[in-house]
Structure 1
């Protein structure tokens, strides 16, 4: 039974990687600044999320091609309420986005990708294009400080242009947490395909976090510095 499951997992992963490579090719995707990712050792990548999170496979594919490292993604915790996603996402390099999971992965030397905007950025409406919805998010700052690992900021451009939004408000809603229900916008592309816009991902210089046990004010200042770097990288990616 375990051998059969392992075979299925490998097959699903290979299929997903082929899909990611095709997505990168379709969007002429490129990655700049890969030299900021160390060849080994724990590192936390923090950046903006595109609409519906569609860009993530292409980004992870480019990271692996440029660095030889497979990224581990911290996924919105609410998605793990959905049985199929809860089963398959870990096969593809996604784990529930908790501090404990992030710390455990970093302790093992992983390359961890975090989107502090989570579902707020995934289900954004057009007025929110290329705006960080980090709200009061401090999770990644706490994790980086406790783990003592560098935070590499990144930004994606083109990630909010892959689909158009029909007029009118989204009527479909999804509840990913007990506190928040997100309106899911309808998307329109070239039939079933997204628009073939170019995707550009830019990575910046690492930020070293404050020490473990740092005050909330220092953690907020660190978060704001990383956010400012992501904004600058968006401009760079736009003109790259």
Structure 2
């Protein structure tokens, strides 16, 4: 989120904004069906997360370019336990992903981005590319019901192809109990991401569940959104 209250914060934001624009250009990123984005008022965007979350700055850049609004992203709570990261993330519009924080952002009229798969999707293994790992996740459905704001499903394609994930066990790192993840490699086996094209597609807004919706109704709503995202992924793939 843009701010003028702190010169250092503003300078860092501008630097990050430039980096996001360069990332979008490097990946020839495009955002389709922007007609679904409201010019004002709260809205919750829900969709798939890419490998290591690398696509987020380019996606946020495209959202801002389309609307003039700086989106806020619900970030993994664990990031806010890291001293430097917990300071910098809010400077870039990152919000610790608690229900209270999300409700506050929506009540303030923000455009809020939610990735229900969270870290399970960002640290996915190759066999899970472009699959939604939303099992047992009802948080975004409960949030939508409580906030009573429209939900816009979205999908990003190309977001799981930015790095190569080697099969060699020597490149595995442990980031969660019982899980080993492959260190992503880019061009020349270095950190530079592959120049794949990123395509993001937005779906039509959906009304939220009732504020008193049961868990069964919330589960049905979650599956409805997931189905829309999968459909949009197919469209993004062929765009």
Fold match by TM threshold 0.5: yes
Counterpart of 1:185? 182
Task: Describe the superposition over 1:38-59 as per-residue Cα deviations: whole angstroms up to 9, x where unpaired.
Answer: 1100000000000000000000
Shift of 1:181: 6.4
Cα distance in 2, alignment partners of residues 181 and 43 from structure 1:
36
Normalised to the residue count of structure 1, the TM-score between the two structures is 0.94
Aligned pairs, number? 233
For the pair 1:85 / 2:85, whether they are aligned, the reply is: yes
Shift of 1:76: 0.6
Cα distance in 2, alignment partners of residues 52 and 219 from structure 1:
28
Q: Which runs of 5+ in 2 are unaligned?
A: none
Counterpart of 2:208? 209
Counterpart of 2:223? 224
Shift of 1:168: 2.7
Judge conservation of contact 2:71–2:111 (CA < 8 Å) in 1.
yes
CA RMSD of aligned residues (A): 1.4
Q: Which runs of 5+ in 1 are unaligned?
A: none
Normalised to the residue count of structure 2, the TM-score between the two structures is 0.94
Cα distance in 1, alignment partners of residues 65 and 233 from structure 2:
22
Counterpart of 2:235? 236
Moved over 6 A (4+): none
Indicate how the Cα distance of structure 1 residues 62 and 124 shifts in structure 2: closer, same or farther if over 3 A, else same.
same
Task: Describe the superposition over 1:112-151 as per-residue Cα deviations: whole angstroms up to 9, x where unpaired.
Answer: 0000000000000100000001111100000100010011
Counterpart of 1:133? 133
Cα distance in 2, alignment partners of residues 181 and 52 from structure 1:
18
Q: 3-state SS of the aligned residue for 2:6?
A: helix
Counterpart of 1:174? 175
Judge conservation of contact 1:123–1:182 (CA < 8 Å) in 2.
no
Shift of 1:5: 7.7
Cα distance in 2, alignment partners of residues 96 and 131 from structure 1:
24
Judge conservation of contact 2:167–2:182 (CA < 8 Å) in 1.
no
Shift of 1:213: 1.4
